[in-house]
Amino acid sequence: MGHRCFLNPDHRYRKDQDIFDGKIEDRGQPVKLSGGDIVRQLQDVHVHLGKVQSVTGKRTRGQQTAVHDESPWKKRSIFFELPYWENNGLRHNLNVMHIEKNVCDNIVFTILNEKGKSKDHFKERKDLQLMGIKHDLWPWKDGKYPSDIFTMTNQQKDVFLRTIKNVVFPDGYSSNISHSVNLSQRKMSGLKSHDCHILMEHLLPIALRNALPALVSSVLAELSSFFHRICNKSIDPQQLPLLQDHVIHTLCRMEMIFPPSFFTVMVHLTVHLVEQVQLGGPVHYRWMYPIEMYLCRLKQYVRNRSQPEGSIAEGYLSEEILIFCSRYLDNVESRINRPMRVDDRPCEPMDSESAIMFPGVEKAMGAASFYDLTPTEKFQAHCHVLVNSAAMEKFIE
C-alpha cells in the first residue's frame, strides 16, 4: 500500500479515500539519499553483535545499541569500509528472479483462494473493518465473509487451470508446467522460479481473460506486460520514464482491487526496478538464473557429503580433462559433437534445384497427413513460392 505517493501531486488518485486506505495522500515521493548522506547518518551508529553481559548478570543475545534512537539504521554495513562504496550508485542490486516469483505466488494463490497461502482471509477482512474501508467486504457475524471480485469460483478455476494444463511450449523453452496443475483439487503447487517467470509474463494474461472479470484481468495483464518489458535483453533508455509511470499506475489500480496484505515487500520492490535498470543496465546481467544454474551444476559433482568442496574441485577438474581429451578423438561421440536432444536437421539430401527452391529448414516430426487444396489455396501457395523464392528474383526484376 501507499504507492500513491509516487504519483504527480495533482493526480486524482491522491484524493480518493474510499477505494484506497481511507486517507488523502499528501506525501511526496521518497527522497533518495546519496552515499554521503548515508555515511553521515552512520557515523554515530555503534552496534555490538553477539552475547553481551548485562548489568543483572544475565547474557542477552544480539544486543544492538545506537546513539541516535531516531536513526533508521540499526547496524553499519561492512561495505562502507570500501573507499568507493560511498560513490557507488547501485549499492544493492534487486534480484528480479525472486521478485517475480513472489509476485506470481501472491497472485496465483490469492485468486485461487488457496488456504494458508492466499492473501485474502478472515483476519484481512477484519483489518478492512478496522480501517473503515470497503464496507461490502467486511466479515459477517458468523465468521464468514463475502467473496471479492478477484476470488475465482469453481467453474472459473477449472477454466484457468485447464488453460495452463493444455499449454505446450517449444522444446527447451520452459519446463512442463502442466505437472504443477491439479485439476481434481483445483490448485497449483511446486512452481519453480522459471515456471513463475513463464507464467507471469506469458500465460497469466491469456489464462485470466475468460476466468476473471475484465477489471481484474486487465490490471494483471498490465503487470505482466511490465515484467515482460523490464526483462527484455535491450531496453530503450528514453522509454524508462514511461515504464516507471506504467508500473506506478498499475500498482495503484491493484490497490483498488486487492487487500492491503497482498502488497508485501516484494510487490513494493517492483517500483524500484526501473531505477535499477537505469543504474545497472538490463536485467539479464544482474539476475540469479545463470548463477543458480551453475550452482546446481557444481552440486552435481558432490560424491562425498563430508567433503563437498573437495568433491566439487575433483569433479570439475575431471570434466575439464575429459572435454580437453575429447577434442583430439575422431569418430567418438562426446559432449561437444553429439547430436542435440531434439535433432531437427534435414536428414534426406536434396538435389541442387530443389534445395534452391525449397531450402531445408528442419526435420519432419510425427506421421504424415495428406489433404486436397482448394483452387484458391493452390493459387495462393503458387504465388507465395514464386514471390519468396530466390530463384525467381531475376524474373521478378
Which grid cell is 194? Answer: 522459471
Identify the band that residue 75 occupies on the pLDDT scale cut at 50, 70 and 90.
confident
Identify the band that residue 300 occupies on the pLDDT scale cut at 50, 70 and 90.
very high
DSSP letter for 34, please: P
> Mapping DSSP to helix (H, G, I), strand (E, B) and coil, where does residue 19 land?
coil
Identify the band that residue 65 occupies on the pLDDT scale cut at 50, 70 and 90.
very low
Kindly report the average pLDDT of the chain as a whole number.
85
Measured distance CA(249)–CA(239) in Å, rounded: 16
Residue of 175, 155, 177 lying closest to 165 (CA atoms): 177
More confident residue, 191 or 50: 191
Measured distance CA(326)–CA(160) in Å, rounded: 49
Residue 144 CB neighbour total at 10 angstroms: 9
Residue 53 has pLDDT above 60, yes or no: no
DSSP letter for 201, please: I
HSE at residue 312, side-chain half, CA atoms within 13 A, is 11
- φ/ψ of 217, rounded to 5, equals -65, -35
Mean pLDDT of 276-289: 92
Amino acid in the structure at residue 323 = I
Q: Are 175 and 192 contacting, i.e. CB atoms less than 8 angstroms apart? A: yes
Predicted pLDDT of residue 275: 93
Q: 273-280 vs 214-230: helix axis angle to the nearest 10?
A: 10
Which grid cell is 204? Answer: 497469466
Predicted pLDDT of residue 78: 84
Predicted pLDDT of residue 226: 95
Q: Are 145 and 125 contacting, i.e. CB atoms less than 8 angstroms apart? A: yes
Identify the band that residue 272 occupies on the pLDDT scale cut at 50, 70 and 90.
very high
Identify the band that residue 63 occupies on the pLDDT scale cut at 50, 70 and 90.
very low
User: Among 134-143, 284-293, 338-347, which is the least confidently predicted range?
Assistant: 338-347
Residue of 347, 328, 346 lying closest to 336 (CA atoms): 328
Q: What percent of the chain has pLDDT over 90?
A: 45
Residue 287 CB neighbour total at 10 angstroms: 21
- pTM as predicted: 0.79
> Mapping DSSP to helix (H, G, I), strand (E, B) and coil, where does residue 253 land?
helix
β-bridge mates for residue 187, sequence order: 182
Measured distance CA(64)–CA(176) in Å, rounded: 48
Residue 66 has pLDDT above 50, yes or no: no
Residue 265 has pLDDT above 90, yes or no: yes
User: Among 100-104, 150-154, 328-332, which is the least confidently predicted range?
Assistant: 328-332
Mean pLDDT of 300-309: 92
Measured distance CA(116)–CA(343) in Å, rounded: 45
Measured distance CA(319)–CA(323) in Å, rounded: 6
CA distances for 253 relative to 5, 256, 262, angstroms = 14, 5, 13
Residue 71 has pLDDT above 50, yes or no: yes
